[in-house]
A and B are shown apart, each in its own frame.
Chain A
């Protein structure tokens, strides 16, 4: 049974960089799509982007200019960086594992609050 464990700073000031990391335990790192998804308080799910089994990355058009997703296969980890955060970036951020068209496993979520 795969487990995704994520961590990172939970409180940021406007203009700072959000940084989260997700570690994969109990499952293969290769052959999957590794996504970041966020959910503002009381709202729906928003896909941020992914890194796939070939190391290719895809990002949501609305966040593409500020986001970077990377991987460290030696540690079975992948990471999210989001630049120049504002209050609108306040959300629970999830890391997730999936296949091409489904998301099968989710991390526990990290609440990131942006406030001055």
Chain B
């Protein structure tokens, strides 16, 4: 089973700042990595798939990069609605796993 480790656990920033979230896989997942945003009381929303492709309707300030074992989600300039929890996810053969999440909070 591939383990995804996200860092930091909590990130405190102000609106307008740049956010950089990390996801590290215990073994290579090529570019089969997705990112999700979850707000309280809501289902997660797909942001990025195949490591760097934005999902439909996702603003351009969200970008993803990486391959193999190291991945990054970048939010170029934080908007108030971006403060939420972010998860990475991978599929290896038949098994899907999620990272433990990074909480992005207002400083």
Interface string of A99-116 (1 = CB under 8 A from B): 011111011110000000
Q: Quick one: which of B36, B38, B97, B100 contacts A47, CB cutoff 8 A?
A: B97
A27 contacts partner chain B, Cβ-Cβ < 8 Å: no
Interface residues on A, range: 10 to 19
**Does A104 lie within 8 Å of B55, measured CB to CB?**
yes
B84 contacts partner chain A, Cβ-Cβ < 8 Å: no
The A46-83 residues at the B interface (CB cut-off 8 A) are: 46-47, 50, 58, 60-61
A100 to B50, CA, bound (A): 11
A94 contacts partner chain B, Cβ-Cβ < 8 Å: yes
B62 contacts partner chain A, Cβ-Cβ < 8 Å: no
**Does B95 lie within 8 Å of A102, measured CB to CB?**
no
Q: What residues of chain A lie closer than 8 Å to B87, measured between beta carbons? A: 44-45
Q: How many A-B residue pairs have CB under 8 A?
A: 53
Q: What residues of chain B lie closer than 8 Å to A47, measured between beta carbons? A: 95-98
A108 to B32, CA, bound (A): 26
A106 to B45, CA, bound (A): 8
B60 contacts partner chain A, Cβ-Cβ < 8 Å: no
**A-B CB contact pairs (8 Å), 30 listed:** A44-B87, A44-B98, A45-B36, A45-B38, A45-B44, A45-B87, A45-B89, A45-B98, A45-B101, A46-B98, A47-B95, A47-B97, A50-B96, A58-B94, A60-B95, A61-B1, A94-B44, A100-B91, A101-B34, A101-B49, A101-B90, A101-B91, A102-B34, A102-B46, A102-B50, A102-B89, A103-B36, A103-B44, A104-B55, A108-B43
Query: A: which residues have CB within 8 A of B?
Result: 35, 44-47, 50, 58, 60-61, 94, 100-104, 106-109
Task: For the A-B complex with A47-B97, A106-B43 known, give 10 more contacts whose Cβ atoms are closer than 8 Å.
Answer: A44-B87, A45-B38, A45-B98, A45-B101, A47-B98, A102-B34, A102-B49, A103-B44, A103-B46, A106-B45
Query: B: which residues have CB within 8 A of A?
Result: 1, 32-34, 36, 38, 43-46, 49-50, 55, 87, 89-91, 94-101
